[in-house]
Amino acid sequence: MSNFPQLYKKGNKPSCHPSKFQISAGFQVVNSDKSLEIYLFQYPTCPFCCKVRAFLDYNGLSYNVIEVNPIRKTELKWSDYRKVPILLVKVDEGYLQLNDSSVIVSVLSTYLNDTSTKLTDVVKFYPNIAFMDDDGTIKKEVLNRYHVMYHGQQSESASKRIVDERNSRKWADNVLVHMLSPNVYRTREEAIESFEWFSKVGEWDKNFSSWEVTSIVYLGSTVMYWLGKRLKKKYNLKSDVRESLYDSCNQWLKLLNAKGTTFHGGSRPDLADLAVFGVLSSIEGCSAFGDLRKKTKLSGWYDAMKSSVALHDGQLAR
């Protein structure tokens, strides 16, 4: 299955019904949009999952969390699509499955722009397409993955803002996120330290057995240590991978300075802010993030974002 939205109608695919899941946590927001009943399948420190949570929290949307065992993935047995995040949203016809963090954000943003349009109609703007890559491989992609749909003609300034936002969202996915693993798993010690933090944040002791937690921490950290080395080479990071992380974040800060505003979106965060914040929040408890705060001027923007997300400022803006 691709990352194209999937509808499970009432009476079909009973194994995906929320009653079958162990809800790890529920985040209920006062006066949240009651039209959306949301279930998020995630790893707590996956950067793409953190992007989705940042979006949901900022917009004041209540949701339930199902923690997925990163090794066994038994919580995803019902789905042909086996990556996180996955969002299940209750609709009149049953449950709508949304895959891929950027598709999820674009679909929900479009819906929030006009809640009179059914979510099942909104997803029609995001069809799945197949194409042949340069090497002859057939690949599938969701059309309009980074596009938010608006009613009517946009002004020239609004159109420029939309394009800038879209480009920065792509940058977060295609550049910034690749700085994380080589830095978080830079040494064996840092890899174990990171997984122990992941375990604490995700409350793995409450969701998995003790032997599962131990195997995830030590097996996972070993695998990711070596993967980090491969990714360093693949994405041409500097010999000191911290420098590549600093460079990427300084590139983001330079963009904000050029705008002369607190956020990429101006006085309030936009989807680009939420994407970059979500990605970076996934490593907040790791040594790499502490070094990032010390070596760059990221803290001002990051802390402002953290406050705005926690206060559900997007809900107030609607």
Q: Which CATH number fits domain 6-151: 3.30.70.580, 3.40.640.10, 3.30.420.40, 3.40.30.10?
A: 3.40.30.10
Tens digit of pLDDT for each residue in 160-179? 999 999 999 999 999 999 99
Active-site option among 8, 39, 46, 58 = 46
CA separation, residue 243 to residues 49, 78, 250, 278 (Å) = 25, 42, 10, 21
Please give the CATH number for the structural domain made up of 174-313: 1.20.1050.10
Neighbours of 248 (CB within 10 A): 23
List Cα–Cα distances, 299 to 46, 161, 184, 265, 302, in angstroms.
21, 24, 18, 17, 5
Asked if 21 is an active-site residue, the reply is no
Give 129's strand partners. 141
Catalogue the long-range contacts made by 7-10 (C-beta closer than 8 Å, 24 or more residues apart).
7/91, 7/93, 7/94, 7/95, 7/96, 7/97, 7/120, 8/94, 8/95, 8/96, 8/97, 9/93, 9/94, 10/93, 10/94
The pLDDT tens digits along the chain (318 residues) read 456 567 665 544 445 677 778 887 777 776 666 678 999 999 999 999 999 999 999 999 999 999 998 878 889 999 999 999 999 999 988 899 999 999 999 999 999 999 999 999 999 999 989 888 888 888 888 999 999 999 888 899 999 999 999 999 999 999 999 999 999 999 999 999 999 999 998 888 887 889 989 988 999 999 999 999 999 999 999 999 999 999 999 999 999 999 999 999 999 999 999 999 999 999 999 999 999 999 999 999 999 999 999 999 999 777
Q: Which of 49, 50, 249, 286 is catalytic?
A: 49
Query: Which among 17, 12, 29, 69 is positioned nearest to 46, based on CA atoms?
Result: 69
Domain ranges of the chain: 6-151, 174-313
d(CA 244, CA 61): 35
Q: Token pair for residue 136?
A: 């002859």
What would the pLDDT profile of 94-107 be if each residue is shown by its tens digit? 899 999 999 999 99
49: annotated active-site residue: yes
46 is catalytic: yes
In the chain the first and final C-alpha atoms are separated, in Å, by 34
Q: Pick the catalytic residue: 48, 95, 146, 277?
A: 48
Alpha carbon 142 to its chain centroid, in Å, reads 16
